[in-house]
Amino acid sequence: MSWGWRSVIGVPYIWLALFFLVPFVIVFKISFSEMAYAIPPYTDLVTWANEQFTLSLNLGNYAYLFTDDLYIRAYLSSIRIAAIATVICLLVAYPIAYVIARAEPATRNALLMLVILPSWTSFLIRIYAWVGILKNNGLINNFLMWLGIIDQPIAMLNTEFAVYVGIVYAYLPFMVLPLYTNLMKLDNSLLEAASDLGAAPWKVFMTVTLPLSKAGIIAGSMLVFIPAVGEFIIPDMLGGAETLMIGKVLWQEFFNNRDWPVASAVAIVMLLLLLLPITLFHRYQARELENEGAN
Amino acid sequence: MGKKVSSLGRTYLTLGFIFLYLPILILIIFSFNESKLVTVWGGFSTKWYGELLHDKQMLSAAWMSFKIAFLAASTAVVLGTMASIVMVRMGQFKGKAAFASMITAPLVMPEVITGLSLLLLFVAMAQTLGWPAGRGMLTIWIAHVTFCTAFVAVVVSSRLREMDASLEEAARDLGAPPWKVFFLVTLPIIAPALISGWLLAFTLSLDDLVIASFVSGPGSTTLPMVVYSSVRLGLSPKINALATIIVLLATTGVLTAWWLARRVETQSVELPTHHS
């Protein structure tokens, strides 16, 4: 291999290894140290004293995560909220992707563009928009009270409901895109064959379209579920104090309690929980990245 | 595929677009509200735009974010393009699987994990190597390049996969060295993807709150950080004004890029017919 090719591989490889892979090793290491009032605020694992190395692995942070039920509840409710939001997102996105994929080529591009466009504006600001809509004296409550349907505002902001709205709203394009790509590849003659053989439209959908779009469903769901589990902005701005999510717990552990070792342990456990979904996503995405399409 | 959209489909799409655009539209409308109450209309006014333009903290944070996003996007396009060439054009090599996972994992990694891990890396590096000495623009730039590279690689590699590899082969057969094949044949063809990749990276960097909060230091406050701390204190029409400006810029940017990309694409399709 020539010098040139080596550097084409080497430069991005070294960058990603140094700034994506190595950091996890350090998080793993610090999750075994103890909090200290020092700069940086944790103890060294390996110390050199009395002419010998001492390696002190402190499992206390992990033990702490399992004794204080705040953490377990936060992990479980993050997974539950992310899973429910992903399913809602899929149900909303599938028909959108389906209709766009079946439109004429010229309209198709414009429609897809319209789905993606909002995600080019600030995520933070799009979530902020919902605060004004959902709060007690917000637009929905004002409107319903003006209509006389309710006379007490419905509490929507600072509930789990608001978090679902936020996740579905912010992540919808990430679900639509892989579904659309997948549905576009669908061989139309299969659908025609099924209906020519007398299958009813819903049966064609259930037995042909849906199974063939499995790859898109998996990719889209993982693209929503994995970041949603660790989401910080949405539960922080819309969820209120009641909604417990692990991304927010990690943030508070780090910024408010300044306990870096516990924050690291929280991150490692989250990573372990997400390992399976990430592997699933990777298997799909690697197939997309590699040279398959050219053959 | 390619039928007329059915009326049921059209209704569904319309509802979908209302859901996507109504919140943004409401933000824009209330940016022209005289009243400080964001949800009650008190007459038309542009005073919040005036206040925004006099907010020194906001302006300097916006400039900081802009600089970082420009540098991060430009670096990420170079690294991401290299990574896509490795993924799409090179055969198997030792460590390719690890390389592939380092490209796909950042796409979904929760931001709090990426932010915390990069901060701990920078602290450990400063302790052992003495570099980077402090946290600020440099560390935010590194963090943004890292996750933006993954997004650029996805955009560019899909274009690279679609392009006709025989053009590169022809150039190679005619004796062009690899770098010449890349710059004269491949690059012009994948250029639209590089533009969209750059724009995507620029937006992602400009938009990032969580990772930047972890790896920034005193004196390097980015725009999302200022917006976040002001939003925490309650709704503010000034943020609505800022939102309107961002929506306007993003829409113009995306539509221009889309139009340019389509023009380049139609040209490159027409090109071979000129010669035949």
Q: Do B117 and A16 touch (CB under 8 A)?
A: no
ipTM above 0.90? no
B89: domain CATH number is 1.10.3720.10
- Tens-place pLDDT, residues B171-189: 888 888 888 888 888 888 8
* A253 is a domain residue: yes
* pLDDT for position A293: 43
- pLDDT above 90 as % of chain B: 40
Please name the residues between 73 and 102 in chain A that touch chain B, using a CB distance below 8 Å. Answer: 92, 95-96, 98-102
Residue of B nearest to A282 (CA): B104
One-letter amino acid at A100 equals I
- Tens-place pLDDT, residues A104-140: 888 888 898 899 888 888 899 999 999 989 988 888 8
Residue of A nearest to B123 (CA): A40
Whether residue A40 has a cis bond before it, omega within 30° of 0: yes
What's the average model confidence in pLDDT over B10-38? 89
* B92 is a domain residue: yes
Please, which pLDDT band fits residue B237 given cuts at 50, 70 and 90? confident
Q: Do B227 and A223 touch (CB under 8 A)?
A: no
Q: Do A23 and B120 touch (CB under 8 A)?
A: yes
At B163 the three-state DSSP class reads coil
Q: Which domain holds residue A118?
A: 60-294
The answer to whether residue A163 neighbours chain B at the CB level (below 8 Å) is: no
The answer to whether residue A38 neighbours chain B at the CB level (below 8 Å) is: no
Q: Which residues of B touch A113 (CB under 8 A)?
A: 254, 258
CA distance A112 to A177: 8
CB burial class (10 A; 0-12, 13-18, 19+) of residue B208?
buried
* B203 is a domain residue: yes
A282: domain CATH number is 1.10.3720.10
Domain count of chain A? 1
Residue of B nearest to A104 (CA): B2
* B18 is a domain residue: no
* B44 is a domain residue: no
* B15 is a domain residue: no
* B3 is a domain residue: no
* B168 is a domain residue: yes
* A40 is a domain residue: no
* pLDDT for position A79: 96
Please, which pLDDT band fits residue B34 given cuts at 50, 70 and 90? confident
Cα angle A11-A18-A291, degrees, rounded to a multiple of 5:
50
* A278 is a domain residue: yes
* A27 is a domain residue: no
* A198 is a domain residue: yes
- Tens-place pLDDT, residues B36-78: 776 677 788 888 898 888 889 999 999 999 999 999 999 999 9
**Nearest Cβ partner for B110 among A96, A118, A227:** A227
Q: Which domain holds residue B154?
A: 57-275
The minimum CA-CA distance between B261 and chain A, rounded to whole Å, is: 12
The model's pTM is: 0.89
Q: Which residues of B touch A143 (CB under 8 A)?
A: none
Please, which pLDDT band fits residue A33 given cuts at 50, 70 and 90? confident
- Tens-place pLDDT, residues B127-162: 888 888 788 899 999 999 999 999 999 889 888 888
Q: Which residues of A touch B238 (CB under 8 A)?
A: none
Domain count of chain B? 1
Q: Which of B112, B140, B253, B267 is nearest to A245 (CA)?
A: B112
* B4 is a domain residue: no
| Beta-carbon contacts of residue A293 (< 8 Å; ≥ 6 apart) | B161, B162
Is pLDDT above 80 for A100?
yes
For an interface test with B, the pick among A121, A135, A183, A249 (most B C-beta atoms closer than 10 Å) comes out as: A121
Q: Exposure string (b/e) for B96-119, b if CB count within 10 Å is 16 or more?
A: beebbbbbbbbbbbbbbbbbbbbb
